[in-house]
């Protein structure tokens, strides 16, 4: 057929009555399709297309051929009638192998044949060949013929040099045949290797053109229905009839599929016409079809000879003697009497069963089979009688004989029982009593003799019997399909997926090793969104949304009609890689050199490609510069629709190249980073709809290596250096992005040994890219588009944005190897210029689930997430800034409009590993777990800050006793700062107990001792009260008295306190020495110092302490040894005029020089702003201004007092002022031999202050403003205290519940009882000291009378009886044993079967008080 298209040209004036469909887009497409039909029709070597319901696709148009031809006829009519339309022929691009002037080429088979195609020679390879090598240059051109026979081309290498071309299909004419390019050779071959390309390659050199275009196929999609382990394409059909369906029932069954084609019933009891109809029916069945037949009830009464003969002809041997109510079953293949199976039985009357059963298995191909079972029977059902107790154990024993029972209970039991049961009168089965029975028989009865029993007497027993009922007819035909295949329900049409193609289905659990490969089978009955595959899954693969999160498994295509592969040896040889791999890793590779003329690769399968040596990867663009329109490439360079699997070094590598489109690429089972940008200058590349899974460690770079490789490979490290794998290496990633200005759209990272997406930073470009950008550029480069990506089944994280690589060689100062992991900080700005406005990195609709450690760890300046989903991760999300300072001051991280799920309904597969399988979720059922059975799962992990969490939903975070799961948590073992500007607002909790919303940590597994500085200073701001129910409150660690005040409310379940106030931070940097421990004390709570060890290692040249402080308060600072000679105090998060007073402890005789300055952390410039003068009047410190301040030196106590005050404005999220960081620097000349600078004993009570609440506590949200959930907090307050006015002493005590006070009127103790479900006050009662001093029956009886799950609150008044039996009441309500009481007591206890975390006891001589919230209703936390 001619390869022509056509189009319609409209005249300026539309003809009257012009048909609306004439020359429409449909008409044009019809014409275009019709004339291109031969060029575009899919051709497949092998079985026909299995999906009979799918119409073919011509570009964007999908029409049936019948419709196309119909439109073609319309077009002819239209053209004949209308002169306004002119149809002009246009020339369509000719397929490369049909271009005139090509010379047929059949080079034969010789591994010694060196082929050069040059000097204008243009050849067409038409058959398989083996050569040593092929070089195409100087106008040479090689085209592969698109033939009906497969072509295998073997070569050691193919080099496309200057002005050389290799064409396999084209974009307009994809290659339809089957082509394999097989690269052979060993790494130790004697041939000289190419200086640039190496060995075993397809190389595109400067001036070369490579065009490969295979058939268009769907690259990957999602499962749309969950695939269960062991689940195959198994269906069951069951047909069953009883009374009312008399006669002979027939099913006709398709022998290929097991499908029932037709069924009918013939009442041959009632009519001879039915008998004749049966004969005609079976005669009409086609040969080869299966008949399954049964009699139900009666079928012989009017059965005449034509039917008997027809059945005998089918192979029946019993049908001719069918009698009254005889059961009969029959299965046969029409035309094959030897295939018949049959059964026949005699009717046994109304009280006995009889059955005829026939079974036959049929094979339908591709490992499938089905079994037909036919059953005709008279079934007898049974039922138990009532219990009978005729005799008892007195006398010789208990005799329950059947004959005696018949006499005692006539008509109430049957004469021939089917079974017997016996039990004691209180329901204990006889076989569980341990007694010996003389008779226990259905036909005799039950006898227990006293003389046979060790104790000399039997229990009193009762018996019952199982009696048969009258029989009833029952006929059934069932078909059970058994197959070693499965049906995959897909989200998209399986375009181009043919029988024999290989697929991979991704894991949807924590382990990437649960991905599975399958082969496609023919399936005529499949819809366009279904494929049948060989085998059954071993693992669970989700195919649905789970708790609002898209957890559908990815399904990737591995097969293509063009294959480029490496030929491999049987095992590893002659390589350092053999230390780590048992298999040959010297695969083929494809490399593109700078200055190529054109490269477009589409529809290709790469297998056994890549080498464990630098620069040799399956697909490698090396130092190409701009490869899109900016570089003069039109159309732009792309690689699309590739399947790259079982590779030995990466998948797609982009090195020093920009603007490459990588689209619809599947990378599977690869060593080292899969989609890899190498040195840092790679920009504007787009990864669109790419899938990577099963990415394993490789040896090439430190970041590729696992722990063993990291330790064993010492090349590049300084002699003697011992690697730290989790710091230097262990970063294998599916997408390794060395420059943020690249686009990732609709990509999936479905399983890596470490991380899905990792944005890494090269401070300077490395390798051949050295000098291509200025130092630090990538750390400030705005992020490209990151939209709709997903990551799961990764070990370390779904996504990391953090770290850099070491860009200097190992040396004595830094012994780590070149390109090992180091720290880096990301702060995106316009034009990558930190002095220009910030440009937030936007992460939109990122889905991360089943990642063992983190869903995402993102460190940087402005990194903003929107509409993301995190589920079943060890930690959902951590947003980090700088640990000490945010490197991009004024920036923030935020997450909005996102969903966090703790433990979803995707419970995974049971495993024998008790470390990763255990109870969890709302139902406490078994499930896979991220890191360990007791790992504290967290949704949002708060680290340093500042962050903003807004309009997010947290679902299914449920703590267990032994596993501290929480929606909000904090980084474990944290040394660094915690910012009071961490804001949380508009939070929704769904299936999260109120006790599991937040957890601040406690000493124990995973938390260790909670003695690091960051563990003690955690804080966040509950802006609207959606977390705590107190809008505007701050949540702080319960024992951080630098932040507490008298009205703070404890939340024992969270190990937290709800407080109000104005908070900031001071950074205290100490030098000379730098290895001290610091103690900071708030003057209002001198008995509760905060001890800090510093954020930096003790060997550092300076140390930094980072406490959060309450503004407008006074503090003192003390040291475990002599005070440091140099202190720098940074004012962090201080707004203008904010202040605190600090007294630093120094030895007597110390002299001071104190100045203030402004430090610009961006320019590294410091400007002195003032000096501090000594004053003898402490109050004069309040007159401090920027140029001059005052310090007060109290040499008697050893305290140097300063008023630390900010003098400049600050932006909202900045740590420092708009002019720089305000600091005070103290230089002290300390007398030699001075002891520890701990002034606590001298400072207090001299400088102790009464606690004062500067910022009133917010009011608790009313129930009407809380979500409709039943859970809420109940605020309670208990206080027992005395007051003195001169010599007059008065005692007071009260209990307050939700703002209502209940005063204690008499000395002794006062008990208030609350309902543990509603919080309502049930009762109050007082017990005088006289009652407590004696036998405490009165108070004990009162407590015992209370219903379980009651909250019991106790206060004391007067002089309490602190000893005696009554104190056991406290222990019964949850207090510690042998507690020592004092005069004043406040106690919150619980009467029930467990001890809640909120049980508290406070005792003191003067004042005991408790102020806390209780979760309502009280619910027991289940044990791990």
Mean pLDDT of 1110-1125: 97
Residues sharing a CB contact under 8 Å with residue 1300, sequence separation 6 or more, in sequence order: none
Mean pLDDT of 1324-1342: 91
Mean pLDDT of 1252-1270: 90
pLDDT of 1329 above 70 = yes
Q: How far apart are CA 957 and CA 960, in angstroms?
A: 10
pLDDT of residue 235: 75
Q: 598-602 and 638-640: which strand pairing?
A: parallel
Q: 1288-1297 and 1272-1285: which strand pairing?
A: antiparallel
Q: How far apart are CA 25 and CA 7, in angstroms?
A: 9
**Beta sheet of 485-489, edge-to-edge order:** 220-222, 554-557, 502-505, 516-521, 530-534, 485-489
Among 996, 1081, 1010, residue whose Cα is nearest residue 1041: 1081
pLDDT of residue 45: 34
CB atoms within 10 A of CB 101: 8
Percentage of residues of the chain with pLDDT beyond 90: 85
**Alpha carbon separation from 57 to 33, 54, 171, 637, 1227 (Å, rounded):** 10, 9, 16, 25, 80
Phi/psi at 782 (5° precision): -60, 150
Mean pLDDT of 411-424: 92
pLDDT of residue 328: 97
Among 1279, 1277, 1281, residue whose Cα is nearest residue 1290: 1281
Contact status, residue 841 vs residue 784, Cβ threshold 8 Å:
no
**Alpha carbon separation from 1223 to 1155, 1170, 1192 (Å, rounded):** 8, 10, 18
Among 504, 598, 656, 745, residue whose Cα is nearest residue 213: 598
- Kindly indicate the confidence band of residue 93, based on its pLDDT and cuts at 50, 70 and 90: low
366-401 tens-digit pLDDT = 768 899 999 999 998 889 999 999 988 888 999 999
Q: How far apart are CA 1361 and CA 1382, in angstroms?
A: 8
Q: Which uninterrupted H or E stretch holds 954?
A: strand 947-955
Q: 157-160 and 133-136: which strand pairing?
A: parallel
CA angle 46, 48, 54 (to 5 degrees): 140
Q: How far apart are CA 1159 and CA 1216, in angstroms?
A: 9
pLDDT of residue 1287: 65
3-state secondary structure 572-626: CCCCHHHHCCCCCCECEEEEECCCCCEEEEECEEEECECECCCCCCCEEEEEEEE
pLDDT of residue 911: 82
- 383 CB burial (10 A radius; 0-12, 13-18, 19+): exposed
Q: 686-688 and 661-663: which strand pairing?
A: parallel
**Beta sheet of 439-441, edge-to-edge order:** 397-401, 445-449, 439-441
1-44 tens-digit pLDDT = 233 333 333 333 333 333 333 333 333 333 333 333 333 333 33
Mean pLDDT of 963-972: 96
pLDDT of 1278 above 80 = yes
**Alpha carbon separation from 1260 to 805, 1254, 1263 (Å, rounded):** 50, 18, 9
Mean pLDDT of 833-853: 97
Cα 512 from chain centroid?
11
Alpha-helical (H) ranges within 896-1018 are 1013-1016
Q: How far apart are CA 1265 and CA 1260, in angstroms?
A: 10
677-687 tens-digit pLDDT = 999 999 999 99
Residues sharing a CB contact under 8 Å with residue 1220, sequence separation 6 or more, in sequence order: 1158, 1159, 1160, 1161, 1165, 1167
Per DSSP, the three-state class of 32 is helix
pLDDT of residue 1185: 85
**Alpha carbon separation from 122 to 96, 112, 116, 140, 1232 (Å, rounded):** 11, 22, 11, 6, 91
CB atoms within 10 A of CB 854: 26
Q: How far apart are CA 749 and CA 668, in angstroms?
A: 10
pLDDT of 194 above 90 = yes
pLDDT of residue 200: 98
pLDDT of residue 483: 84
pLDDT of 86 above 60 = no
Residues sharing a CB contact under 8 Å with residue 681, sequence separation 6 or more, in sequence order: 656, 658, 739, 765, 769, 772, 773
**Alpha carbon separation from 276 to 261, 283, 793, 1085 (Å, rounded):** 22, 11, 66, 105
pLDDT of 147 above 90 = yes
pLDDT of 473 above 80 = yes
Task: Considering only residues 48 and 1016, tell me which one the structure prediction assigns the higher pLDDT.
Answer: 1016
pLDDT of residue 14: 34
Q: How far apart are CA 81 and CA 27, in angstroms?
A: 15
Contact status, residue 1049 vs residue 1256, Cβ threshold 8 Å:
no
As a 3-state breakdown, the chain gives helix, strand, coil percent values, each rounded to 5, of 10, 40, 50
Q: How far apart are CA 703 and CA 727, in angstroms?
A: 10
Contact status, residue 602 vs residue 636, Cβ threshold 8 Å:
no
Q: Which uninterrupted H or E stretch holds 1203?
A: strand 1199-1205
Q: How far apart are CA 889 and CA 827, in angstroms?
A: 9
Q: How far apart are CA 342 and CA 315, in angstroms?
A: 9
- 1305 CB burial (10 A radius; 0-12, 13-18, 19+): exposed
Among 600, 643, 593, residue whose Cα is nearest residue 621: 593
Mean pLDDT of 431-455: 94
CA angle 685, 687, 688 (to 5 degrees): 130
Phi/psi at 1241 (5° precision): -65, -35
Cα 904 from chain centroid?
10
Q: How far apart are CA 915 and CA 587, in angstroms?
A: 38
Q: How far apart are CA 899 and CA 949, in angstroms?
A: 11
Contact status, residue 662 vs residue 686, Cβ threshold 8 Å:
yes
- Number of helices (H), then strands (E), in the chain: 13, 100
213-272 tens-digit pLDDT = 999 999 999 999 999 998 876 778 999 999 999 999 999 999 988 999 999 999 999 999
Among 792, 988, 996, residue whose Cα is nearest residue 874: 792
CB atoms within 10 A of CB 183: 24
Q: Which of 67-76, 204-213, 396-405 has the lowest mean pLDDT?
A: 67-76
Q: How far apart are CA 871 and CA 847, in angstroms?
A: 8
Q: What is the DSSP letter of 888?
A: S
Q: Which residues pair with 205 in a beta bridge?
A: none
Mean pLDDT of 622-648: 98
Q: Which uninterrupted H or E stretch holds 778?
A: helix 777-780
Q: How far apart are CA 959 and CA 534, in angstroms?
A: 42
Task: Considering only residues 348 and 8, tell me which one the structure prediction assigns the higher pLDDT.
Answer: 348
Give me the helix-helix angle, 272-283 and 305-314, nearest 10°.
Answer: 30
Q: What is the DSSP letter of 748?
A: E
């Amino acid at each position: 057929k001619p390869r022509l298209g056509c189009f319609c040209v409209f005249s300026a004036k539309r003809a009257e009555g012009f048909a609306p469909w004439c020359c429409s887009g449909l008409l044009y497409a019809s014409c275009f399709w019709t004339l291109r039909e031969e060029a575009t029709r899919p051709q497949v070597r092998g079985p026909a297309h299995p999906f009979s319901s799918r119409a073919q696709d011509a570009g964007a148009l999908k029409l049936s051929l019948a419709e196309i031809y119909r439109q073609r006829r319309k077009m002819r009519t239209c053209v004949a009638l209308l002169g306004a339309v002119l149809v002009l022929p246009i020339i369509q691009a000719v397929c490369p192998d049909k271009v005139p002037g090509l010379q047929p080429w059949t080079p034969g088979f010789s591994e010694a044949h060196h082929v050069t195609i040059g000097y204008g020679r243009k050849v067409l390879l038409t058959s398989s060949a083996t050569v040593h090598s092929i070089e195409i240059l100087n106008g040479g051109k090689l085209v592969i013929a698109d033939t009906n026979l497969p072509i295998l081309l073997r070569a050691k290498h193919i080099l496309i040099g200057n002005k050389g071309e290799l064409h396999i299909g084209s974009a307009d004419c994809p290659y339809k045949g089957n082509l394999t390019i097989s690269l052979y050779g060993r790494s130790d071959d004697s041939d000289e290797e190419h200086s640039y390309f190496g060995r075993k390659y397809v190389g595109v050199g400067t001036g070369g053109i490579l065009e490969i275009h295979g058939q268009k196929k769907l690259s990957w999609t999602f499962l749309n229905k969950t695939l269960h382990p062991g689940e195959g394409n198994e269906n069951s059909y069951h047909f069953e009839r009883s009374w009312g369906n008399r006669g002979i029932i027939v099913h006709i069954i398709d022998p290929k599929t097991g499908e029932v084609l037709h069924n009918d019933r013939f009442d041959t009891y009632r009519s001879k016409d039915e008998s004749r109809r049966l004969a005609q029916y079976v005669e009409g069945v086609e040969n080869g079809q299966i008949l399954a037949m049964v009699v139900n009830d009666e079928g012989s009464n009017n059965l005449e000879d034509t039917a008997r003969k027809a059945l005998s002809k089918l192979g029946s041997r019993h049908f001719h003697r069918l009698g009254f109510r005889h059961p009969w079953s029959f299965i046969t293949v029409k035309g094959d009497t030897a295939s018949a199976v049959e059964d026949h039985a005699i009717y046994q009357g109304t009280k006995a069963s009889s059955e005829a059963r026939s079974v036959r298995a049929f094979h339908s191909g591709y490992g499938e089979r089905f079994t037909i079972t036919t059953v005709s029977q008279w079934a007898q059902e049974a039922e138990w009688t009532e219990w009978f107790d005729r005799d008892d154990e007195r006398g010789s024993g208990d005799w329950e004989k059947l004959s005696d029972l018949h006499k005692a209970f006539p008509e109430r039991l049957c004469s021939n029982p089917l079974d017997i049961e016996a039990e004691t009168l209180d329901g204990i089965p006889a076989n569980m009593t341990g007694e010996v029975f003389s008779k226990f028989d259905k036909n005799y009865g039950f006898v227990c003799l006293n003389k046979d029993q060790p104790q000399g007497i039997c229990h009193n027993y009762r018996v019952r019997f199982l009696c048969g009922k009258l029989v009833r007819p029952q006929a059934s035909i069932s078909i059970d399909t058994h197959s070693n295949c499965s049906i995959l329900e897909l989200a998209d049409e399986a375009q181009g997926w043919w029988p024999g193609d290989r697929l991979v289905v991704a894991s949807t659990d924590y382990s990437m090793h649960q991905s599975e490969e399958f082969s496609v089978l023919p399936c005529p009955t499949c819809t366009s969104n279904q494929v049948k595959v060989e085998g059954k899954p071993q693992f669970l693969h989700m195919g649905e949304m789970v708790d609002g999160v898209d957890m559908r498994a990815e399904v990737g295509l591995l097969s293509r009609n063009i294959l480029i592969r490496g030929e491999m040896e049987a095992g590893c040889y002659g390589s350092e890689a053999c230390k780590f791999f048992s298999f040959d890793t010297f695969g083929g590779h494809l490399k593109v050199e700078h200055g190529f003329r054109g490269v477009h690769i589409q529809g290709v399968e790469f297998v056994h490609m890549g080498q464990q040596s630098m620069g040799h990867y399956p697909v490698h663009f090396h130092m190409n510069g701009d490869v899109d329109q900016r570089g003069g490439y039109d159309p732009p360079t792309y690689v699309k629709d590739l399947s790259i699997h079982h590779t030995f070094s990466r998948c797609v590598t982009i090195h020093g190249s920009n603007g490459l489109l990588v689209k619809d690429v599947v990378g599977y089972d690869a060593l080292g980073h899969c989609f890899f940008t190498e040195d840092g200058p790679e920009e504007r590349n787009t990864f669109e709809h790419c899938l990577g899974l099963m990415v394993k460690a490789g040896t090439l770079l430190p970041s590729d290596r696992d722990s063993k490789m990291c330790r064993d490979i010492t090349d590049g490290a300084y002699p003697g250096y011992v690697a730290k794998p989790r710091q230097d290496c262990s970063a294998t990633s599916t997408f390794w992005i060395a420059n943020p200005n690249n686009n990732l759209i609709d990509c999936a990272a479905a399983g890596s040994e470490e991380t899905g997406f990792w944005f890494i930073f090269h401070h300077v470009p490395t390798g051949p890219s050295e000098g291509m950008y200025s130092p630090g550029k990538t750390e400030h480069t705005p992020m490209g588009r990151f939209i709709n990506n997903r990551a799961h089944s990764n070990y370390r994280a779904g996504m990391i944005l953090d770290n850099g690589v070491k860009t200097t060689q190992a040396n004595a100062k830094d012994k780590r190897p070149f390109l090992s992991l180091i720290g880096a900080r990301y702060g995106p700005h316009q034009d990558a210029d930190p002095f220009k406005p910030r440009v937030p990195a936007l992460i939109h609709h990122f889905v991360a689930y089943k990642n063992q450690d983190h869903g995402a760890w993102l460190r940087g300046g402005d990194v903003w997430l929107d509409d993301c989903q995190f589920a079943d991760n060890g930690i959902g999300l951590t947003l980090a800034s700088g640990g000490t300072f945010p490197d991009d001051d004024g920036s923030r991280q935020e997450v909005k409009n996102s969903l966090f799920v703790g433990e979803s309904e995707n419970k995974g597969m049971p495993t024998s590993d008790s470390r990763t399988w255990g109870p969890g979720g709302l139902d406490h059922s078994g499930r896979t777990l991220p890191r360990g059975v007791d790992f504290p799962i967290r949704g949002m992990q708060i680290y340093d800050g500042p962050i903003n969490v807004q309009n997010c939903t947290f679902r299914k975070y449920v703590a267990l006793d032994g596993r501290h799961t929480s929606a909000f948590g904090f980084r474990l073992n944290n040394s660094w700062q915690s910012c009071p500007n961490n804001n949380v607002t508009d939070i929704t909790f769904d299936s999260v107990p109120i006790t599991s919303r937040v957890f601040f940590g406690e000493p124990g597994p995973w938390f260790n001792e909670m003695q690091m500085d960051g563990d003690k200073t955690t804080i966040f701001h509950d802006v609207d009260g959606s977390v705590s129910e107190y809008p505007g409150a701050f949540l702080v660690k319960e024992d951080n008295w630098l932040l507490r005040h008298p009205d703070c409310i404890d939340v024992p379940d969270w190990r937290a306190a709800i407080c109000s106030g104005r908070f900031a931070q001071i950074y205290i940097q100490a030098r000379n020495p730098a290895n001290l421990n610091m103690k900071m004390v708030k003057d209002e709570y001198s008995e509760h110092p905060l001890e800090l060890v510093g954020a930096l290692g003790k060997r550092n040249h300076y140390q930094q302490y980072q406490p959060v402080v309450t503004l407008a308060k006074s503090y003192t600072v003390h040291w475990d040894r002599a005070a440091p000679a140099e202190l720098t105090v940074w004012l962090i998060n201080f707004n203008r005029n904010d202040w605190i007073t600090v007294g630093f402890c120094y030895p007597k005789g110390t002299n001071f020089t104190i100045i203030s300055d402004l430090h610009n952390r961006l320019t590294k410039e410091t400007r002195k702003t003032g000096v501090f003068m000594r004053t003898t009047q402490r109050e004069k410190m309040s007159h401090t201004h920027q140029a001059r301040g005052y310090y007060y030196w109290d040499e008697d106590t050893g305290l140097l007092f300063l008023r630390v005050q900010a003098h400049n404005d600050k932006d909202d999220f900045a740590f420092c002022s708009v002019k720089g960081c305000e600091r005070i620097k103290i230089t002290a000349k300390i007398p030699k031999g001075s002891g520890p600078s701990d002034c606590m004993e001298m400072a207090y009570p001299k400088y102790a202050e009464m606690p004062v609440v500067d910022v009133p506590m917010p009011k608790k949200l009313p129930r009407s403003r809380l979500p409709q959930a039943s859970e809420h907090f109940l605020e309670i307050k208990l206080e027992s205290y005395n007051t003195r006015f001169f010599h007059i002493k008065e005692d007071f005590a009260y209990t307050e519940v939700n703002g209502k006070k209940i005063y204690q009127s008499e000395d002794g103790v006062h008990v208030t009882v609350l309902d543990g479900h509603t919080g309502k006050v049930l009762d109050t009662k007082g017990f005088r000291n006289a009652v407590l001093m004696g036998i405490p029956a009165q108070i004990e009886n009162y407590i015992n009378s209370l219903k379980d799950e009651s909250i019991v609150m106790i206060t004391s008044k007067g002089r309490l009886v602190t000893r005696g039996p009554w104190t056991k009441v406290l222990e019964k309500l949850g207090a510690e044993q042998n507690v020592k009481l004092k005069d004043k007591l406040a106690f919150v206890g619980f009467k029930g079967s467990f001890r809640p975390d909120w049980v508290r006891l406070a005792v003191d001589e003067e004042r005991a008080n408790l102020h806390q919230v209780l979760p309502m209703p009280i619910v027991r936390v289940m044990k791990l």
